Structure 1
């Protein structure tokens, strides 16, 4: 990384997509422990963490930054995670806003540090990108289900109670399951050889961080196991393996790991 570049991550640590970044930081070793993550401490002086907290007191969601001296600019104030790359010589700034793009970029920047979370072979890289893309498509399908199965999320999405639809929920759920079946099928070889989803790596990589964050967040918010269908047993077993990483319990099983005001219900629609 050029010595004149300062990287700053803005993270609401409890969120779905920021969790992808949390997991990457810990697997990569750029954050030594969950406590260091919560404290905003990294192993590289050129990489800073600004932790975001949600402020809902005014009736609208806004961010409070910690430290307060480095708030999100108003034009991107609803985006978490996001990564700012600032040239300390010129003051010029560029931003990366999507979680999967952020950790892919950081993996390139820190290619020579810690374990490799990205394959070197170009075909493996293409396969990795296919997997991440399919995971993101499956998230969209899961949101269709949640919009109709969760009364609170439906209201947040502007869907009236009488507009909630069990058939729409079913279609979304089926689309999600089919998408995740593609993921486990495409990752069959790497699951069989290393136990992880990311091809061409010896341990958990970018694909694993992307999917584990989705699984954990939807469990915390909705009490929903997205791998509960028997067809997804290989992914359920993979997730149990991911939970065995040394930092997992301290990060994800601590008290109040997710704020109670952001926990919602899902009605058990027939899917």
Structure 2
């Protein structure tokens, strides 16, 4: 698919959970050269522009380098605007997984192959990503009920929090992650990765690793801490050790806003 008639504008809060998926993708595809380039919003593709966002901790709103770059109404981060440079028509892609799959299709010739062309492999990848997203949603519900600060940020009144709800969501999250292990069992045995039909980490791996890292940084939470998730714990260690840019991106001093780094002591259950 030719991309020369389109311009791509990608809004990213680089430290966020779902934007983090795009961080990993852009580096693995070689669409940005280095973590420093990513942090500066510099890409290797003339028609791909990154708009960096950052939270204003005082107002709870977003900050941008210019008002012209403000996040469009009705969107969140990440989101992608695709502009036809010949007609001026704009179309939007709103969800991280949709952006990942779209970018993989149009930038297939760049960098690593992150999604198989085989229809069954694609279906299996979508199954795994779907249950990963369910697990992340349950993890979010757990955090809102277990951590007062998270509840406040999410608009949940403290008196409406429930430790029982927190533990229920935690259990469902673990069940979903066990399902990931089972569904990816053959692929993990063959290649060591979650994404079928590719020789290295692919879209399913990116999707889960970003969530795992974000929750560790923000809340001191290893979501693979349970014994029944030891396969995923080993997979995550392998993922980090495989990527040559991991330390420069994810172990830097300013990897996450200090105001948003809540240790496990902030979780009540």
Task: Map 1:54-69; keep pairs closer than 5 Å.
Answer: 54-57=55-58, 59=59, 61-66=60-65, 68=66
Which residue is equivalent to 2:210?
213
Moved more, 36-45 or 157-166: 157-166
Give structure 2 stretches of 5+ with no counterpart. Answer: none
2:255 maps to which of 254, 257, 270 = 257
Give structure 1 stretches of 5+ with no counterpart. Answer: none
1:195 maps to which of 188, 192, 202 = 192
Q: Does 1:99 align with 2:100?
A: no
Contact residue 64 and residue 71 of structure 1 kept, 8 A: no
Helix, strand or coil at the partner of 2:152: helix
2:70 maps to which of 69, 72, 79 = 72
Q: Does 1:14 align with 2:15?
A: yes
CA–CA distance in structure 1, aligned partners of residues 109 and 67 of structure 2: 31
CA–CA distance in structure 2, aligned partners of residues 201 and 229 of structure 1: 28
Which residue is equivalent to 1:140?
137
Alpha-carbon offset, residue 70 of structure 1: 4.2
Helix, strand or coil at the partner of 1:75: coil
Q: Does 1:247 align with 2:216?
A: no
Which residue is equivalent to 1:163?
160
Which residue is equivalent to 1:31?
32
1:173-223 deviation line (CA, Å, top 9, x unaligned): 000000000001111111111111100000010001100000000000000
Contact residue 11 and residue 71 of structure 2 kept, 8 A: no
Which residue is equivalent to 1:86?
83
Alpha-carbon offset, residue 2 of structure 1: 3.3
Helix, strand or coil at the partner of 1:86: strand
Helix, strand or coil at the partner of 1:45: coil
Which residue is equivalent to 1:124?
121
CA–CA distance in structure 2, aligned partners of residues 209 and 178 of structure 1: 20
Contact residue 50 and residue 70 of structure 1 kept, 8 A: no
Helix, strand or coil at the partner of 2:73: helix
Helix, strand or coil at the partner of 2:179: helix
Helix, strand or coil at the partner of 1:119: coil
Helix, strand or coil at the partner of 1:224: coil
Helix, strand or coil at the partner of 2:51: strand
Which residue is equivalent to 1:224?
221
Moved more, 12-21 or 109-118: 109-118
1:35-69 deviation line (CA, Å, top 9, x unaligned): 11011111110111111122233x2x322223x27
- The TM-score, its normalising length taken from structure 1, stands at 0.93
Count of aligned pairs between the two proteins = 265
1:130-189 deviation line (CA, Å, top 9, x unaligned): 001000111111112111110111223333333322211110000000000000111111
- The TM-score, its normalising length taken from structure 2, stands at 0.94
Contact residue 6 and residue 86 of structure 1 kept, 8 A: yes
Provide the aligned C-alpha RMSD in A: 1.4
1:219-270 deviation line (CA, Å, top 9, x unaligned): 000000000000000100010011111000000000021001112354252x
Which residue is equivalent to 1:267?
267
Which residue is equivalent to 2:233?
236
Helix, strand or coil at the partner of 2:237: helix
